[in-house]
Structure 1
Amino acid sequence: MKRLTYLLPIGIVAVAVLMASIFIVDEREKALVLQFGQIKRVKEDPGLAFKIPLIQEVVYYDDRILALDTDTIEVTPSDDRRLVVDAFARYRIADVVQFRQAVGVGGVAAAETRLSSILNAQIREVLGADQVTSDTILSEDRRGLMNRIRDQAQGEARSLGLNVVDVRLKQTNLPEQNLNATFERMRAEREREAADEIARGNEAAQRVRAQADRTVVELVSEARKEAEIVRGEADAERNGIYAQAYGADQNFFQFYRSLSAYEEALKGENSSMVIAPDSEFFEFFKSSQPGAAE
């Protein structure tokens, strides 16, 4: 009974020591075994492992690809049009020993701060290089620029034990003050183009109007010319008929002309005429026979 009393606490302590010496590494992690802050062992394969209780501790690091959003910065390409740029990167911890030595107890937070500074510096360097314009950054050619940023950042990130997998520019916009100036310039250009189109339209309309006026004048002139010709031919034909009639019967011709004169003189409603009764104007009123005047 006394042996059982002694063995039970010993067993409990042994189980506690055994449990404290066992640790598990997940397949998504890597682990470092530290002894008084010094790296004693690296555990990269998933499964059970052992450490010295109370003396050694285990630090876990994510082995998956991680994401990092950079701060928004301004860059000035070679054409001096400033752009507001922000990016995101994909990275992973490639060397946990070097990573621990580089960032210490700061871990992933400290590493991302330093990696963000590296990325921002490379973004400024690549996008501000010669022959890199804002049009290049905003076009499909920026894929090559992002690869250059990734490759150059990779060299510096390697000292942190990191592997930069990818870098992408999320947005590239003009600063607010430049954006307003650009909108005003675009509006002015569109207004100038509209004014040019209106001027060209007015010029075309003026040409059409002038051509129409000229056509009207030509048509009216031609119509008047033809009317004068027809009128002249009619007058000539009328005069010919008059001459022929006069030559055939002079008395009848005189009688007809007198009737026409009566008609023209007496057709007014308010006309008043004072003529002597024996006037030659009433020659044909003196006899019922036109030939009696002779």
Structure 2
Amino acid sequence: MRLISIFVLVGLVVLAIASFMFTYTVKFTEAAVVTTFGQADERSIVTEPGPGFRLPYPIQGVTKYDTRIRFMSTRQEAQQTADDRQVVVEAFATYRVVDPRVFFSRFSNAGERAEQHFERAEEILRSNLRSSLGELSRYRMSELFTAGGEGSRLPELEERVLRSVRQGGTDGDSLREEYGIEVVSVGISSIVFPQEVTRAVFERMKAERQRLASDLESQGSSRADTIIAEAVAAAQTIEAFAEQRAAQVRALGEREAAEFLAQLSTNPDLAVFLANVEFFRDSLTARQATLMFTNKTAGFELLDASRLQSRAPGELPSFAEPMPSSGGER
């Protein structure tokens, strides 16, 4: 029984080794190149997903490539625009393998692994993309960057770069024909000024803002002077109108007063009476007033001590009698 278990275990190990040596599996996102003694032809390409059979190494080998879209980017590159502006550009590209046989034949010398083939392919793509960015020299900065983003020719630049990259093969061939690669898209990640240019641009922007601030301040001062002048003119107009109206009122008062004075001149007693009434009105309406009377004034005889002298008890003084010569007190 133990011997049978050993034979079964050895059989499973041999089967696993045989399956590894004689089979391979292709995913639905991959394409395989089955080579015979390192050579590949049209029949060597396997794109159907699933398991496959092959002869053991070194008779046949299998290299599998991911056919999904891959991404690569360039480092910042200095370029010049049509208006002689120095800028630093960073771009990216997406690509995929569309002809595994051509791709294998072009990059198999980079190594045995598929990743080594992709690394070599991206070096060529990156070089072509940097060269194609020279299309930037056809455009002015004002054409690439517009107010609000409307009317920008940046998409047109990216389309030009894409066409240039796709035709980047030697002898005028396309990358698809020469390397089995299809460049799907190209984009501009960033366009910035070099550091020294950026500093100069900031200084120019600062000077422009200062000029605008000075213009606004000058306009404000001019407007303030205009408002003050208008206010002074309006005040003078109002003052002149008030003086004119006051003169009219004074003239009217003087005319009415002249008529009143003329009436009083015809009746002097009335004028004296009115003057006395006005005097009493002013005196009695004052907060403090002191009136001085003599004991000869009507109603003040009781204050005359001489009228009470030489009178018997119970005898009333006579006010009809002439008063003594001595003056009374108030």
Is the pair's TM-score, using the shorter chain for normalization, greater than 0.5? yes
Query: Which residue matches 1:27?
Result: 28
Query: Which residue matches 2:126?
Result: 116
Which residue of 78, 82, 85 corresponds with 2:82? 78
Query: Which residue matches 2:144?
Result: 137
Q: Is the 8 A contact 2:103 2:180 kept in 1?
A: yes
Q: Is the 8 A contact 2:54 2:60 kept in 1?
A: no
Q: Which runs of 5+ in 2 are unaligned?
A: 1-7, 111-116, 169-174, 276-330
Which structure has the highest helix share of the two?
A: 1
Query: Which residue matches 1:217?
Result: 236
Query: 1:235 offset after TM fit, Å?
Result: 4.5
Q: Is the 8 A contact 2:129 2:161 kept in 1?
A: yes
**Distance in 1 separating the partners of 2:179 and 2:40:** 16
1:128 aligns with 2:132: no
- Residues 161-240 of structure 1: pairs in structure 2 closer than 5 A: 161-235=180-254, 238=257
Query: 1:122 offset after TM fit, Å?
Result: 0.9
SS at match of 2:101: helix
**Distance in 2 separating the partners of 1:175 and 1:18:** 59
Deviations 1:46-73 (A, max 9, x none): 3313135433322222222111122222
1:45 aligns with 2:48: yes
- Residues 255-266 of structure 1: pairs in structure 2 closer than 5 A: none
Q: 1:246 to 1:108 in 2, by over 3 A?
A: same
Q: 1:56 to 1:227 in 2, by over 3 A?
A: same
Q: Is the 8 A contact 1:91 1:162 kept in 2?
A: yes
Deviations 1:143-202 (A, max 9, x none): 232222112211222222210011122222233332333233223323322322222222
Q: Is the 8 A contact 1:89 1:164 kept in 2?
A: yes
Q: 1:149 to 1:224 in 2, by over 3 A?
A: same
Q: Is the 8 A contact 2:37 2:58 kept in 1?
A: no
Query: 1:204 offset after TM fit, Å?
Result: 1.8
The two structures have a TM-score, normalised by structure 2, of 0.62
SS at match of 1:167: strand
Aligned partner letter, 1:152: S
Q: 1:19 to 1:197 in 2, by over 3 A?
A: closer
**Distance in 2 separating the partners of 1:18 and 1:210:** 103
Aligned partner letter, 2:61: E
Task: Count residues with an aligned counterpart.
Answer: 240
Query: Which residue matches 1:276?
Result: none
**Distance in 1 separating the partners of 2:83 and 2:71:** 32
Q: Is the 8 A contact 1:33 1:51 kept in 2?
A: no
Q: Which runs of 5+ in 1 are unaligned?
A: 1-7, 257-294
> What's the C-alpha RMSD, in Å, of the aligned pairs?
3.2
**Distance in 1 separating the partners of 2:238 and 2:198:** 59
Query: 1:88 offset after TM fit, Å?
Result: 1.8
Query: 1:114 offset after TM fit, Å?
Result: 0.8
Query: 1:241 offset after TM fit, Å?
Result: 5.7
**Distance in 1 separating the partners of 2:71 and 2:261:** 116
Q: Is the 8 A contact 2:74 2:130 kept in 1?
A: yes
Stretches of 4+ moved more than 4 A in 1?
11-19, 232-249
SS at match of 1:123: helix
Deviations 1:215-270 (A, max 9, x none): 22222223223333443454465566656766777xx99xx9xxxxxxxxxxxxxx
Q: 1:246 to 1:44 in 2, by over 3 A?
A: closer
Percent identity reads 28
**Distance in 1 separating the partners of 2:12 and 2:198:** 72
Q: 1:240 to 1:29 in 2, by over 3 A?
A: closer
Q: 1:195 to 1:38 in 2, by over 3 A?
A: same
Q: 1:100 to 1:239 in 2, by over 3 A?
A: same
Aligned partner letter, 1:133: R
Query: Which residue matches 2:322?
Result: none
Query: Which residue matches 1:261?
Result: none
